[in-house]
């Protein structure tokens, strides 16, 4: 069974950076998508950035474009979210998720379709 474990959350001041890492338990994920989602208090879970492993296609939410970068480290079997220029609006619990091939392209837009999630890591941006 595919398992995901996030790490790297914490508290930073506005303008700061954090690097989130998602450890993936399996390597044979042909056609899968891996992505990052977040949920702020009182708000629904939203897709932040996702990657389709077959061709490296990436998606970024408008609110994070130019500030966040998703990447995969094949040697370590992780997916990383580098977050720069953080603002208080980036505060929330960040989750890693995996999507089978059928939904890998749209996974960031329809998180309700996904059933493989990590436990989440908390990010707080505050002065």
Are the beta carbons of 93 and 117 closer than 8 angstroms? no
Query: What is d(CA 127, CA 124) in angstroms, rounded to the nearest whole number?
Result: 10
Calculate mean pLDDT across residues 87-105. Answer: 95
Nearest to 25 by CA among 77, 75, 71, 72: 77
Name residue 71's beta-bridge partners.
Answer: 80
- Tell me what the mean pLDDT of segment 82-87 comes to: 98
How many CB atoms within 10 Å of residue 10? 14
- Does the pLDDT at position 30 exceed 90? no
Summarize the confidence of residues 98-120 as an average pLDDT. 92
pLDDT of residue 28: 87
State the average pLDDT over residues 96-121: 93
Give the mean pLDDT of 43-71.
Answer: 96
């Amino acid at each position: 069974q595919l398992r995901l474990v996030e790490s790297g959350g914490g508290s930073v001041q506005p303008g700061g950076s954090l690097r989130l890492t998602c450890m993936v338990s399996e390597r044979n994920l042909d056609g899968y998508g891996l992505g990052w989602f977040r949920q702020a208090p009182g708000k629904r879970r939203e897709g932040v950035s996702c990657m389709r492993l077959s061709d490296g296609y990436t998606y970024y939410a408008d609110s994070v474009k130019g500030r966040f970068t998703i990447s995969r480290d094949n040697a370590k079997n992780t997916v990383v979210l580098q977050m720069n220029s953080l603002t208080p609006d980036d505060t929330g619990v960040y989750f890693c998720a995996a999507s089978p091939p059928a939904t890998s392209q749209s996974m960031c837009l329809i998180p309700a379709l996904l059933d493989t999630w990590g436990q989440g890591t908390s990010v707080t941006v505050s002065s």
